[in-house]
Amino acid sequence: MHGASGVPRTMISDPVIAKKISELMIETLARLDESTAMAMNACQPEEFKAYRRAAGAVMAEIASEILNPLYSMHPLLKPPEME
C-alpha cells in the first residue's frame, strides 16, 4: 500500500527506529504548533492565515504520510492524545 506521495505505507519495520521517528515527528508537530502561535502574535491577520494554512498542511502531511502508517505497523507507539 502506498500513500499519496508514493511512499510505501509500511516504511519502518524496526520498532526501535519507529519509536525514535515517532518521537521526532511528535516534536516536529509541537514545534510547528509553536511557530503558528508565534505567527499569530507577530504577524498581520492575512500573513497569519497564510502561515497557519501552510503549517497545517505540513502537519496533516506528517500525520497521514508518516505517523498513521507508522502507528498502523506499531500500534503500541501511538500516544493516547493521538487516539
Residue indicated by cell numbers 505567527: 39
**Three-state SS sequence of the chain:** CECCCCCECCCCCCHHHHHHHHHHHHHHHHHHHHHHHHHHHHCCHHHHHHHHHHHHHHHHHHHHHHHHHHHHHCHHHCCHHHC
**pLDDT recorded at residue 1:** 44
**pLDDT recorded at residue 11:** 77
pTM given for the model: 0.82
**Three cell numbers, residue 15:** 520498532
**pLDDT recorded at residue 22:** 97
**pLDDT recorded at residue 10:** 61
pLDDT per residue rounded down to tens, the chain (83 residues): 455 555 555 679 999 999 999 999 999 999 999 999 999 999 999 999 999 999 999 999 999 999 999 999 999 999 988 77
